[in-house]
Amino acid sequence: MGIAERKNRQKQALRERILDAARRIVVREGFAALSMRKIADAIEYSPATLYLHFASRDDIARALCAEGYAQLLATFVPLMQIADPAERLKALGRAYVAFGVEHPETYRLIFMEDPSYTGAALGGAVGVGKDEGNAGEPSANTRRGHSTTAPGNAAGEASEDLGDAALQIMIDALDELRTAGRLPAPVASVEPAVRAEALWASLHGIVALYLTCPVFPSAPLDTLVGVTLDAWLGAPQTARAGGSANAAVRGEKRPKRLPASSTDPPPRPPARRKAAGP
Amino acid sequence: MGIAERKNRQKQALRERILDAARRIVVREGFAALSMRKIADAIEYSPATLYLHFASRDDIARALCAEGYAQLLATFVPLMQIADPAERLKALGRAYVAFGVEHPETYRLIFMEDPSYTGAALGGAVGVGKDEGNAGEPSANTRRGHSTTAPGNAAGEASEDLGDAALQIMIDALDELRTAGRLPAPVASVEPAVRAEALWASLHGIVALYLTCPVFPSAPLDTLVGVTLDAWLGAPQTARAGGSANAAVRGEKRPKRLPASSTDPPPRPPARRKAAGP
DNA sequence: GTCTATACCCAGATAGAC
DNA sequence: GTCTATCTGGGTATAGAC
């Protein structure tokens, strides 16, 4: 059956090209500027062809999200080697913020755009659980018909686990710190999941404000991250008290914005779009 | 000149009707669903008429933002009476988050939508200042021609001050705490503006995740707020150590979501739109 | 000051020829 | 499998009659 396999490979290849083009558009012009026509233009196919690989624009967006989750988690994994939980957690925090700064449109897409996109990363396996279904109806047709015919495509399926995994990494580090008695009292006295969620929210706040508010960090970003991590983890209590664990508390030496700009150009704001037909 | 005044009043009245309708649409369907056609429909005028009062859809959005800033600041003002700076700060934090939860679409609009909207609140008067102009071009025509003919319209002009004022309230409370020696060491050792920005970011993170991520707070929202404030302000160090200052650390008594729902219905996500022609 | 009508743009999605 | 052509529906903004 070599012929069928070749056809499958070709189909996969086109699928990847579509996703590549879509990613480039999102990165350059923002998610709002992503349209089927633009993707089709970019890969020099007709718009109709896209629908043989993805059920809808939303479907493509979800695939991009899955990639984003994987990318974020991939930046976390090597940091798990850090033995000291406090250092590990700080590295994770800095990596998280750096990811958001370096990939603004990707970060926007997966964490700031649409509840159904953001929710796809968290299976809800962590913590207590929720009431009030807030997800809503935005396209309940996650995968219908085509686009899932081929089994082993990259980052298509279990994107739910990725977000949970990232959160779990933080929970673990926090737990180690707690059992070692190295957390400030108010932080130590809550449930692990709550701790992790709250810390996550703090980091997300920094990134989100940075990406949305032009005049936000009047302070250098890593200063902000440093003081936030210190507030949560407490200053190191092994001797030499008072000082912060972060080197750049007043760090005027470092560049104001972490890596100046790495992958994505600065967020290109509006460019709105309309809703679809039937 | 009573005739001219009457005409002016009428013009103002229609302006208010437009803004009212726009606010209702944003609150009910989200900012993305706001369109000139819809506003015109709602007030039973033709779309063309709107352009006699506002230069563009963007202009209307800015006016709504200004209202939002004023509204947020108004919830802060009464809390300034609280004598104890720690209690004041906690009340401010809770009020901030509550505002975001009770007015999700308003909060989205002013803090999560567009850099040019969010930036309008902060004059940049606070803190060190920034480099890298990130604002961008989205409609530099803030006020041109009409719509500013009448002088005393509500919440039209100095919206820049409002955001700064809110931040300043937080800075002041933090300063009082610091001079009283009641801040944790890592938090006390940074500049006041940085402290305030970082705390603000933490609170924003909670609200932003709550509004965007369907499965985010597996913990009750006020638990999250409580532990965050405790992390920043430290547990009260006057005797009875260890315990948190916030009553609801494990508070299963309270409703999961603060006021169930007050003004705005739950965020109604997408509904995108396109960019305009010349 | 307000309207109708319209120019012009963009989008998502599909039918049916090839 | 791919395309052309098209349907349907949205949008901003303006010209010109009343």
> Could you say which of A124, A257, A275 has the minimum Cβ distance to residue B215?
A124
Residues 27-66 of A with CB under 8 A from B: 32
Query: What is the sign of the dihedral through the CA atoms of B45, B47, B51 and B57?
Result: positive
pLDDT tens-digit readout, A133-175: 333 333 333 333 333 333 334 444 567 778 889 999 999 999 9
Tell me the two tokens of residue B227. 């532990």
- Integer distance in angstroms from CA B48 to C1' C7? 14
User: What is the widest separation between alpha-carbon atoms in chain A?
Assistant: 70
What's the mean per-residue pLDDT of chain A? 79
- The predicted structure's pLDDT at residue A126: 56
- Integer distance in angstroms from CA A22 to C1' D7? 25
- The predicted structure's pLDDT at residue A120: 83
Q: Which residues of B touch A29 (CB under 8 A)?
A: none
- The predicted structure's pLDDT at residue B173: 96
What's the CATH number for B68-123+155-263? 1.10.357.10
Q: B73 with B165: CB under 8 angstroms? A: yes
- Quick one: which residue's CA is nearest to D9's C1'? A277
Mark yes or no for CB contact B270/A243 under 8 Å. no
Q: Is B114 an interface residue toward A (CB < 8 Å)?
A: yes
Mark yes or no for CB contact B130/A241 under 8 Å. no
Q: A114 with B269: CB under 8 angstroms? A: yes
Pairwise pLDDT comparison (A182 vs A242), residue with the higher score: A182
Mark yes or no for CB contact A118/B186 under 8 Å. no
- Integer distance in angstroms from CA A70 to C1' D5? 40
pLDDT tens-digit readout, B189-202: 999 999 999 999 99
- Quick one: which residue's CA is nearest to C15's C1'? A48
Q: How close, in Å, is residue A43 to chain B by CA atoms?
A: 22
Look up the CATH architecture of domain A62-121+159-259.
Answer: Orthogonal Bundle (1.10)
Q: Which of B29, B137, B216 to mutate to test the interface with A (most CBs of A within 10 A)?
A: B216
A34 Cβ contacts chain C strand, under 7 Å? yes
- Quick one: which residue's CA is nearest to C9's C1'? B277
> Could you say which of B189, B266, B274 has the minimum Cβ distance to residue A249?
B189
DSSP class per residue in chain A: -HHHHHHHHHHHHHHHHHHHHHHHHHHHH-GGG--HHHHHHHHTS-HHHHTTT-SSHHHHHHHHHHHHHHHHHHHHGGGGG-SSHHHHHHHHHHHHHHHHHHSHHHHHIIIII-HHHHHTT--S-SSS---S-----S---SS-STTSSSS--TT-S-HHHHHHHHHHHHHHHHHHHHHTT-S-HHHHTS-HHHHHHHHHHHHHHHHHHHHH-TT--SS-HHHHHHHHHHHHH----SSS-SS-S-TTSS--SS-SSTTS--SSPSP-----------
Per-residue pLDDT tens digits of chain B, which is 278 residues long: 688 888 889 899 999 999 999 999 999 999 999 999 999 999 999 999 999 999 999 999 999 999 999 999 999 999 999 999 999 999 999 999 999 999 999 999 999 999 989 888 776 655 543 333 333 333 333 333 333 333 334 444 567 778 889 899 999 999 999 999 999 999 999 999 999 999 999 999 999 999 999 888 889 999 999 999 999 998 765 444 334 444 433 333 334 444 444 566 654 543 333 333 33
> Could you say which of B198, B200, B218 has the minimum Cβ distance to residue A197?
B218
Pairwise pLDDT comparison (B4 vs A92), residue with the higher score: A92
Q: Is A192 an interface residue toward B (CB < 8 Å)?
A: no
Domain residue extents for chain B: 1-54, 68-123+155-263
In CATH terms, the fold of domain A1-54 is Arc Repressor Mutant, subunit A (1.10.10)
Q: How close, in Å, is residue A13 to chain B by CA atoms?
A: 30
Q: Which residues of B touch A268 (CB under 8 A)?
A: 136
- The predicted structure's pLDDT at residue A214: 83
Q: Is A251 an interface residue toward B (CB < 8 Å)?
A: no
Tell me the two tokens of residue B4. 């001219």
Q: For residue A7, which nucleotide's C1' is closest to its Cα?
A: D1
Mark yes or no for CB contact B256/A193 under 8 Å. no
Mark yes or no for CB contact A224/B198 under 8 Å. yes
- The predicted structure's pLDDT at residue A204: 98
- The predicted structure's pLDDT at residue A248: 38
pLDDT tens-digit readout, A201-260: 999 999 999 999 988 888 999 999 999 999 999 876 544 433 444 443 333 333 444 444
- Integer distance in angstroms from CA A277 to C1' D6? 14
- Quick one: which residue's CA is nearest to C5's C1'? B48
Q: What is the DSSP secondary structure assignment for residue B112, as one 8-state letter? A: I
